[in-house]
Amino acid sequence: MSTFGFYFDSSACSGCKTCQVACKDKNDLQAGIRFRRVYEVAGANWNKTDEGAWEHDIVAYNLSIACNHCENPSCVKACPTTAMHSELDGIIQIDPKKCVGCRYCQWACPYGSPQYNRQKGIMQKCDFCRDYILDGKQPVCVTSCPMRALEFGPISQLIEKYGDNRSVFPLPDPSITKPALFIKPHPGAARASELGGSIINREEVKDEQ
Amino acid sequence: MGKQNRRDFIRTSAVAGGIALSSPIWFPESLGFNPGQAVSPGLAQNGWIKVGCPAHNCGGRCLLKVLIKDGIITRIETDDRPVDTPADPQLRACIRGRSYRRRQYHPDRLKYPLVRTGKRGEGKFRQASWDEALEIMSVEMLRIRKKYGNQSMFVPYGTGSYSHLNGRWPAERLMNLVGGALEYYNSYSWACISKATSTVYGTGITGNQRQDWLSSKYILMWGWNPAEMRDGTNSDYFIKKARENGARVVCIDPRMTFSAVSLADEWISIRPGTDTAMMSAMVYVMVRENLHDSEFIRTHCIGFDSTQMPKGLENEESYLDYLLGTRDGQPKSPQWAAPITGVPSDTITRIAREYAQTKPAMLYQGYGMQRRAYGEQPVRGGCVLAAVTGNVGIHGGWASGIALQPGGGPLWSIFPTGTNPVKAKIPTFLWTEAITRGTSLSAKEGLTGVEKLDSNIKFIWSVASNILANQHGNINRAGRILEDENLVEYIVVQDQFMTASARYADLVLPVCTHFETWGLEDGWKYGEEVILMPQVVEPSYQTKSDYRICAELAAKLGVYESFTEGLDEKGWTRRLWDQYRETRFPNLPPFDQFVESNQGVYSVPVHNPQISLEEFRRDPETHPLQTPGGKIEIFSETLFNLGRKDEIPAVPKYIQEWESPFGPEAGSYPLQAIGPHYMARVHSTHDNVDWLKEAFPQRVFINPIDAKSRNLSDGERVLVFNDRGKISLPCRITPRIMPGVVAVPQGAWSMPGPDGTDINGNINALSSERWTPLAFGNAQHTIMVAIKKIKP
Amino acid sequence: MSNSDWPLMVFTLSMQFSVGVVLLYDLFLLFPIALKKEKLPLRFQMILLVALVAALTGVVFSLLHPGNPVNAMKTLSNLNNSWLSREILFFISYSGMLLIVTGLQFRFPSAVRSYKWLLDLTCLTGLVLVYVMSRIYWLPSMPAWDSIFTPISFYLAMFLSGSCFLLLFQLNSGSWTSQKGLAVLIIAIPVIQVALLPVYMSWLEEAGDSARQSVSLLLNQYLPAFYLRLGFEILTIAFGFWAFFSIRSDTLKRRNLFIPALLAFITMVGALVIDRFLFYQQIVPIGNL
């Protein structure tokens, strides 16, 4: 049972990826491994008008996703070695000494969070900056955000402050894993599905290992 | 070692550039950095140190906290001052600041001086000692000075280092001590906007302090993209706060930028180079619907209609004449503007009403639209829109134009460069002309200070600059000019990496990074702060600071004492600090105390933001503007008197660009290409940083409609070309750019392949060297291109 | 399909083949023999050996998959939750039992009756193994796998590969009826597989965006492979019929069976390999993140 969560204001996220790199710096991650990824969602119809101008109904927004430290973590269930485990405080961590590198957690996670480190042959992922939390500090992604669009805190507190919305297109149904991720959707997000919106920066978020 | 040929350079750069993402990670230890090496006394051994960010011409001025362990930077975080309010916000660094370790410990850092061995531009060098390198340089300088005079020597515009005493300033100081050098004026960034704003307001100080944005109720971000270009640390955050206060934000831009996505309620796509058409149509709507502030126009402006024309010019075309088509028979209606701008007429009408009727309102114009063919026009047009709606000199308003800050504002660099004995100045962008035909330049090409130059440019000392072969217009032409040893006889490049420009050097001098020397910075365009940049690690390899290099060269030239005044880098930083204490920031703590405190930044909270042109607004008679008529010049008598009304009209007009989708060139090259700032770089700096390339790879962005008609699939490598050059790079198909326009982010490092095609996607292989009529500014964004598949 | 999926493809196919061979051997060949108290024909001993080799191939390839096989022993640590842990348990049990029973058969070929219970147990373990294996893929995060179609497809692959192999192997020694039975399977299973395809695809169409994208992958990017697989299936059916009608009670004419049985085996391998390739290739994670 997770105690902490992220709040993400998608309406304010510019997609600058400072969070992604702040995280990479803290965790010494080589290119290709991203504990936090920024997905660019967009959809639109473009039409030329009779007077020769262009009309569009575009929707575009960003989703910054790390590990959601789900309350019902499918990765922990999937892991054959128990390397992927939930700490008492609900933070889900990988024990590198146990991980066999089977990548099954990667299949099981509906958020693409576990990342495979080819050089080490094991999985890695966001640990909420557990060392920082234990030190009374915030995760490094949260304090990096130039738009102040990320927050971190106890789940109950985040729900009280922002409500209990854990989904936005195209994230999976939150009932699958109960992610500790609370989202303020971009105003356009409601139309994204009907516009045939999709993730358009796939090469910037895919697991390349 | 010691020789690096061009092919090796390209190969290593391509790998380092993230094409091979599985390449092994490099962290300092793997590069032979020796943890625990001797560290000079006074340098912090271990722990978190605060350092200013960046060291380049970024619009942001932020604060880093770097963790030092045994002489190596092992982690980078940012400003974490406990209080984070709009009055005094945290200066949070962006992705570029956070990835500095990958630049600091990049294996391609220049390590020792290099002397050219092959043909110029071939990229073949040998290793040299510092003594030999500076000896060669001083001999060449003296030889060329003797033969051609000081006007033949040139330190070009360059912004790769920006910490007051790193960068081109010490080189300028040294040149000024040895007889001076040909000088330049204006910049690659702001040539038109700085020139044209003054033609309307008589000043460039037309902005309010940013905290005032929170008072605005309507914000038009016109080609302005603070989130992506980092136009001031926290500018995007202030807009967010303004929205929380109820402001509606509309973004007008060919691209749905980061700012459009995260800051705006609406994005209006506009064809590049047609902004003045939409601006004109907006005023047309206001006039037709009587939404303009006619009282303010009557009391504060000149030339709006025939009743307020300057004396003697009563019969000339007023702004209203232009709008209504009195002379040319063409009313500048939204229906006229729609096919030009690509913006539906209904939208133009609606935005005109919103902007005119919501008070107070800001029209913030970006700088991209003025790096275009007639870049002066949209600047004047934006200022006129602000004036006719009466948004000048009020809280929550914005006078538009370059919008420098009231109350002095930041100064970029206060390092004393001295007085240049050479009085001749050329426009920044015309250095290639000064090489090829300097002695024939005149005022017609913007030459000032002298009638004629004594000599063409014969010696170039390029410090922290990648202008020569990367950032200039038409770099293929620039490269041909630089290659010719009969033109420029000696080229010195001082930098941290083997840039495209450094490849053309006869001598390459390796410079340390800002983490390896002392410096300081203030708030770029905005902000009330001073940020210290203490040295935190030893210079890597044999690198030295720009200041140190200049000082050692000064010794060779016999001016060491007058150059250094007995100060080292830290000494100069202290002196500049003291200068701030004596002028802008009287409460600034003493330097040594501040260094000791590891506070990093000194900032003055802004609770009552200052407003530009406030006194003029209140009483235009007592506080007239510095324009010829003392008022806002919608009609500029000065421009009228130039007698070039087709290119420099007295009122802002839409003029079809010299390369345009409406011109014959569109037959072969149907797409407009723009080169926006990219999150992955500050101009060309950072292009070799893998974390940034991974996050934002170099791509040509194209609308699905244009991609479909060319049968392109997302991620496919394509050829972008015109008569001036060819580049190849993968495409990104995105609905976030309007049809007919493609974007190739500027600043990618030029990497010409065997057939001359730039394989790294540098847009300047396609851009032009032609300059704007009034400001002599770069018009690099005005280009037409074609795109085709590489694989059939 | 990422590179690490290739070993999994070989692993799943060879394990299913192994179990199929052992199971059908037990049912079709050994059972009648045991009933009649006959001595095991020497040739039949090879069948279990082939199944064992297939299982050991599975072992090798399963070890190629993880990035850090040093920790392989730790994979049994999460039997309570992880289907992968369980799979490994059953995989080890099955392979171990198969090794023993194969050894017994070589050592005591005439005493089949006394250890047939072990072979039966091996079969049962194998059946469970195939089910557990399918549960690994039966994931909410992967809509294309997230259904009963996954175990069905695994079991069908098991039966088809096993029957094709056995028919080919017992050309001269199998009973007339068991051959007929195997040929019926060789016809029936591809028919079921082909018939299930539209059912599966239309189910996917209704199972959300990512599932729909899986269909689109199959019908666009992988359409050639998809058709190729279909072709192989139809050929297998055809060769199954050919084989069926070539089966005679007259032992002398059994050689006529060789060609259709061999062809059926080859097309079966083609069909299953492509099928499994597409199985890994078609996945689009939920949300497509």
- Calculate how close chain A gets to B502, using CA atoms only, in Å: 27
Pair C51, C156 in one domain: no
Which site among B48, B262, B678, B691 would you substitute to test the A interface, given the most A Cβ atoms closer than 10 Å to its Cβ? B262
- Are A121 and C67 within 8 A, CB to CB? yes
Pair C234, C249 in one domain: yes
Residue B446, pLDDT score: 97
Residue B15, pLDDT score: 34
- Are A119 and B24 within 8 A, CB to CB? yes
Which of C111, C137, C163 is where one domain is finished? Answer: C137
Number of domains in chain B: 4
Chains A and B make contact, 3+ CB pairs within 8 Å = yes
Pair B56, B166 in one domain: no
- Calculate how close chain B gets to A12, using CA atoms only, in Å: 5
Contacts of C among chains (3+ CB pairs under 8 A): A
Pair B271, B182 in one domain: no
Rounded Cα–Cα distance for residues A104 and B728 (Å): 39
Q: For residues B594-617, give the mean pLDDT.
A: 95
Tokens representing residue A125 in the block: 């992922």
Residue B8, pLDDT score: 40
Rounded Cα–Cα distance for residues B657 and B276 (Å): 12
* CATH number of domain containing A72: 3.30.70.20
Residue C140, pLDDT score: 93
Q: Which domain holds residue C211?
A: 142-289
Residues of B in Cβ contact (< 8 Å) with A43? 735
B746 within some domain: yes
More confident residue, B458 or C251: B458
Residue B413, pLDDT score: 83
Helix H or strand E segment including B307: none
Pair C155, C126 in one domain: no
Task: List the single residue in A with minimal CA-CA distance to C89.
Answer: A80
- Are A120 and C82 within 8 A, CB to CB? no
pLDDT tens figures, B91-102: 999 999 999 999
Chains C and B make contact, 3+ CB pairs within 8 Å = no
B100 within some domain: yes
* CATH number of domain containing B513: 3.40.50.740
pLDDT tens figures, B468-513: 999 999 999 999 999 999 999 999 999 999 999 999 999 999 999 9
Comparing CB atoms, the residue among B95, B267, B697 nearest residue A16 is B95
B486 within some domain: yes
Pair C210, C239 in one domain: yes
- Are A121 and C68 within 8 A, CB to CB? yes
Give the DSSP letter of residue B511: B
What average pLDDT is seen over chain C? 90
B537 within some domain: yes
3-state SS, residue B272: coil
Q: For residues B526-542, give the mean pLDDT.
A: 93
- Calculate how close chain A gets to C263, using CA atoms only, in Å: 36
Task: List the single residue in A with minimal CA-CA distance to C213.
Answer: A198
Tokens representing residue B66 in the block: 């770097």
Number of domains in chain C: 2
Comparing CB atoms, the residue among B227, B260, B734 nearest residue A16 is B227
Q: For residues C100-128, give the mean pLDDT.
A: 91
Comparing CB atoms, the residue among C72, C287, C288 nearest residue A100 is C72
Residue B10, pLDDT score: 37
Q: Which domain holds residue B430?
A: 114-187+411-603
Q: For residues B87-112, give the mean pLDDT.
A: 96
Tokens representing residue B246 in the block: 């109820």
Comparing CB atoms, the residue among A52, A54, A60 nearest residue B269 is A54
3-state SS, residue B144: helix
Least confident of A164-168, B406-410, B735-739, C19-23: B406-410
Pair C146, C230 in one domain: yes
Comparing CB atoms, the residue among A42, A51, A147 nearest residue B345 is A51
- List, in sequence order, every beta strand (DSSP E) within B20-152: 47-53, 62-69, 72-78, 114-116, 125-127
- Are A80 and C84 within 8 A, CB to CB? yes
Q: For residues B114-125, give the mean pLDDT.
A: 96
- Calculate how close chain A gets to C135, using CA atoms only, in Å: 11
pLDDT tens figures, B664-683: 999 999 999 999 999 999 99
Q: For residues B644-657, give the mean pLDDT.
A: 98
Identify the band that residue C256 occupies on the pLDDT scale cut at 50, 70 and 90: confident
pLDDT tens figures, C64-82: 889 999 999 999 999 999 9
- Calculate how close chain B gets to A164, using CA atoms only, in Å: 22
Contacts of B141-145 with CB under 8 Å at 24 or more apart are: B141/B178, B141/B459, B141/B461, B141/B490, B141/B557, B142/B557, B144/B458, B144/B459, B144/B489, B144/B490, B145/B178, B145/B179, B145/B459
Share of chain B above pLDDT 70, in %: 94
Pair B620, B581 in one domain: no
In this predicted structure, the answer to whether residue B1 has a pLDDT above a threshold of 50 is no
Pair C125, C171 in one domain: no
Residues of A in Cβ contact (< 8 Å) with C141? 74, 107-110, 172, 176
Residue B787, pLDDT score: 98
Pair C181, C261 in one domain: yes
- Calculate how close chain A gets to B142, using CA atoms only, in Å: 47
Closest CA to B19 of B788, B760, B765: B760
Task: List the single residue in A with minimal CA-CA distance to C7.
Answer: A102
In this predicted structure, the answer to whether residue B18 has a pLDDT above a threshold of 70 is no
Query: Radius of gyration over alpha carbons of chain C, in Å?
Result: 20
Tokens representing residue B546 in the block: 């720009």
Q: For residues C52-57, give the mean pLDDT.
A: 96
Residues of C in Cβ contact (< 8 Å) with A74? 139-141
Pair C128, C159 in one domain: no
**Residue that the structure tokens 């009529």 belong to:** B773
Pair B690, B773 in one domain: yes
pLDDT tens figures, A4-60: 999 999 999 999 999 999 999 999 999 999 999 999 999 999 999 999 999 999 999
Strongest mean pLDDT among B88-102, C21-35, C43-57 = B88-102
Pair C70, C39 in one domain: yes
Pair C282, C167 in one domain: yes
Number of domains in chain A: 1
C4 touches chain A (CB under 8 A): yes
Comparing CB atoms, the residue among C76, C77, C84 nearest residue A78 is C84
Closest CA to A143 of A153, A134, A154, A157: A153
pLDDT tens figures, B406-447: 876 777 788 999 999 999 999 999 999 999 999 999 999 999
Pair C184, C289 in one domain: yes
Rounded Cα–Cα distance for residues B66 and B64 (Å): 6
- Are B697 and A11 within 8 A, CB to CB? no
B658 within some domain: no
Q: Measured between alpha carbons, how far is residue C104 from residues B273, B728, C36, C93, C119 in Å?
A: 86, 67, 20, 16, 10
pLDDT tens figures, B750-759: 999 999 999 9
Pair B73, B131 in one domain: no
- Are C81 and A77 within 8 A, CB to CB? yes
Pair B395, B315 in one domain: yes
Pair B220, B241 in one domain: yes
Going from the first residue of chain A to its last (209 residues), give the mean pLDDT of each consecutive group of 10, the final group possibly shorter. 87 98 96 96 97 97 97 96 93 96 95 94 96 94 97 96 96 95 96 93 83
- Calculate how close chain A gets to C273, using CA atoms only, in Å: 21
Comparing CB atoms, the residue among A100, A110, A173 nearest residue C68 is A100
Number of H helices, E strands in chain C: 10, 0
Q: For residues C175-189, give the mean pLDDT.
A: 88
Contacts of A among chains (3+ CB pairs under 8 A): B, C
Angle between helical axes of C223-246 and C209-219 (0-180°, round to 10): 70
Pair B228, B276 in one domain: yes
A-to-B residue pairs, Cβ atoms closer than 8 angstroms: 168
Identify the band that residue B30 occupies on the pLDDT scale cut at 50, 70 and 90: low
Tokens representing residue B444 in the block: 């017609």
pLDDT tens figures, B321-341: 999 999 999 999 999 999 999
Share of chain C above pLDDT 70, in %: 94
Residues of C in Cβ contact (< 8 Å) with A199? 288-289
Least confident of B428-432, B735-739, C35-39: C35-39
Rounded Cα–Cα distance for residues B742 and B649 (Å): 30
Task: List the single residue in B with minimal CA-CA distance to A43.
Answer: B735
Residues of C in Cβ contact (< 8 Å) with A78? 81-84, 139
Share of chain B above pLDDT 90, in %: 91
Chains C and A make contact, 3+ CB pairs within 8 Å = yes
A-to-C residue pairs, Cβ atoms closer than 8 angstroms: 116
Comparing CB atoms, the residue among A74, A98, A99 nearest residue C141 is A74
Pair C88, C37 in one domain: yes
Residue C265, pLDDT score: 96
Q: Which domain holds residue A45?
A: 4-205
What average pLDDT is seen over chain B? 93
